[in-house]
Amino acid sequence: LTSSLLAPRRVPTVPVKNLTGSSPVNPALAGITGILMSAAGLPVCLTRPPKLVLHPPPVNKSEIQSIPGISRTCRKTTKKQTKKGKTPEEVLKKYLQKVRHPPDEDCTICMERLSAPSGYKGPQPAVKPDLVGKLVKCGHVFHLHCLVAMYNNGNKDGSLQCPTCKTIYGVKTGTQPPGKMEYHIIPHALPGHADCKTIRIIYNIPPGVQGPEHPNPGKSFTARGFPRHCYLPDSEKGRKVLKLLLVAWDRRLIFAIGTSSTTGESDTVIWNEIHHKTEFGSNLTGHGYPDINYLDNVLAELAAQGITEESLMQEKD
């Protein structure tokens, strides 16, 4: 009993965000909590939250290194022209088998029975509405009329993505505006990766005018927050991710033009479903380190865009 009375009491802490910021909500809640704890006879010690660390310490040019196994330290892209000469019907013919006796199920594009004509009501493709085709890899069945209409409403780049299982046929490309991607090694370690240096990626896309592949052709688009700095560990898996990101960049899949989910601004450059880490020394927003699952997650996101190790065999550094 005596030893328990003499033992030092553990002081509970109340973490407070925005303690010195403009929002009064969190400090007010902390104050109320402190009053209640004091009334109960408990000591109170307010603590500040960890500091957001977006960028690494300053790096001299002499400390920046190129990445072994990857040629150059910069990629530029311009608008790639869509391949001409093949009609949508000719493109899709490579990926389909005709089905003479359709299964007793719905077409997941128009939601009409496959045994009935297509229910697509938009601009009519030059194929009969009652023809049915099966995609050769995944085996999913659709009205050919619906598939051609879906292709015409997309990027028309010679590729097709199954609307049911997302299997990609051909090489998928995106609508990323022209810009520059830089990449190199800096001599600092990321949290959770103390055994290696860091790969820094710098994306820079200027504002411009939307092309025919964008949501509002001829209209200006904005490009907020550029240059954007992103980070990977300079490990074997980190370098693999970088190589695949280079393929994604060349295929114009890293960014797109759309509506920002954070600001609500339309006709602006946005991320395109391949997540990046933009915090260097913290993970307060979910966009930093440590994150033990990040590299595996981004590899899965790249694969969903049709970018895998097989892609590295098809692309040059």
Q: Could you read off the pLDDT of 239-264 as tens digits, one per residue?
A: 999 999 999 999 999 999 999 999 99
Q: In the chain, where does the domain assigned CATH 3.30.40.10 lie?
A: 88-169
B/e letters for 5-30, b = 16+ CB within 10 Å, e = fewer, are: eeeeeeeeeeebeeeeeeeeeebeeb
Q: 245, 201 in Cβ contact below 8 A? A: yes
For 268, phi then psi, to 5°, come to -140, 160
Averaged pLDDT of the chain: 86
Q: What's the mean pLDDT in 5-34? A: 52
Instruction: Write down the pTM of the prediction.
Output: 0.79
User: Which CATH number, 3.30.70.360, 1.10.260.40, 1.10.10.60, 3.30.40.10, labels domain 88-169?
Assistant: 3.30.40.10
Sign of the C-alpha dihedral computed for residues 263, 266, 270 and 274 taken in this order: positive
89 CB contacts (<8 Å, ≥6 apart)?
Answer: 125, 126, 127, 148
Domain 61-79+178-314 class in CATH: alpha beta
Give me the pLDDT at residue 21, please: 44
Q: In the chain, where does the domain assigned CATH 3.30.390.130 lie?
A: 61-79+178-314
Q: Could you read off the pLDDT of 282-297 as tens digits, one per residue?
A: 999 899 999 999 999 9
